[in-house]
Amino acid sequence: MTGHHHNNKQDSTSNIKVAFFLNLGFTIVEIIGGLWTNSIAIISDALHDLGDSFSLGLSWLLEKYSRKKKDEKYSYGYRRYSLLSALINGLILILGSVYVLSRAIPRIFNPEQPNAKGMLFFAIGGVVINGIAALRLRKGRSLNERIITLHLLDDILGWTAILVISIIMMFTDIPILDPILSIVITIYILYNIFVNLKKTFSVFLQAVPSGISIKEIEDKIRKIDKVISIHHTHIWSMDSLNNVLTTHIVVENNTTTEEITDIKSKIKELTGSPDLEHSTIEIEFESEFCKMRDRECF
């Protein structure tokens, strides 16, 4: 099983590496093509792809970096570094989107005719390149691969829209379609950026992961035999995937070692999930002093 897991890690890193170089290479060609065709829609998608390339590059490096085991400096390991990728990538995409909007909005009032045939050529290339990368990653098991696949599918949809617009403009003189499409793509990108950044900041600030209710967990634990009360319960996420639970449980003074072991087992069953990687349960007897209990009005 260990060897199989190791091979999955190697395949994951290799797939992300291939997707990174495909995406980066086409992004460079895309920026040149956007300037050549005078298409602000292609330039906006190129900047989006540049952000994706940066994200792919960081994901590739972090996939390798995440293999590092915990040490004296990072007792939980190195996976939290993945949040830096999301934060930096989001900020880059925001700057790129602001630039695109500053170019696209004036063109609504003063449309410029883009090279429709050139747009068609690059749209076909975009669908093919992103399609190859998505196919390479679609069977991946790692979260990185799945998230990147979704980004690539978004790119395919964007290029499909450019493909349709370019065909329309080859037969009709409606140059305003280009900046309109650019603005629509950029607004869609900005919406997703802010959604992801909100999640990233929540993890950075150690908010309770979505879908988890501390009150519900505490209510279930209080129903366990011999448990008097519960306090100082905290749940947070290390990287939006792996969660940590810590709590203090007050039990009756006559609780035996076997009963304490049973209480811990039941608590782990109640709170156990594939996303809960660490749980620390401190058992306190009713007569035992605890500063944390006093702070919570016990």
Dump pLDDT digits (tens) for 72-113: 777 777 667 767 766 776 777 787 778 778 877 887 888 777
Helices within the chain (DSSP H only): 2-37, 40-65, 82-109, 116-137, 143-171, 177-204, 214-222, 257-271, 291-295
pLDDT of amino acid 12: 57
The phi-psi region of residue 20 (left if phi > 0; otherwise alpha if psi is between -120 and 50; otherwise beta) is: alpha
**Which pLDDT belongs to residue 8?**
45
Please state which of the ranges 12-21, 27-36, 257-266 shows the lowest mean pLDDT: 12-21
For the chain, report the end-to-end CA distance as a whole number of angstroms: 48
d(CA 148, CA 136): 11
Q: Which domains are delineated in the chain?
A: 2-204 (1.20.1510.10), 214-295 (3.30.70.1350)
On average, the pLDDT of the chain sits at 76
How many residues are given for the chain? 298
pLDDT tens for 142-166 read 545 665 666 676 677 777 878 888 8
* Count of other CB atoms within 10 angstroms of residue 70: 11
pTM equals 0.65
Is residue 294 classed exposed, middle or buried when 0-12, 13-18 and 19+ CB atoms within 10 A define those classes? exposed
Q: Strand ranges (DSSP E) for the chain?
A: 227-237, 243-251, 276-285
Give me 12's structure tokens: 């994951």
At residue 35, what is the residue type?
Answer: L
What pLDDT is recorded for position 287?
82
**Tens of pLDDT, residues 186-202:** 788 788 778 878 888 88
Residue 11 pLDDT greater than 70, yes or no: no
How do residues 204-256 score in pLDDT, each as one tens digit? 888 888 778 888 888 888 888 888 888 888 888 877 777 888 889 898 888 88
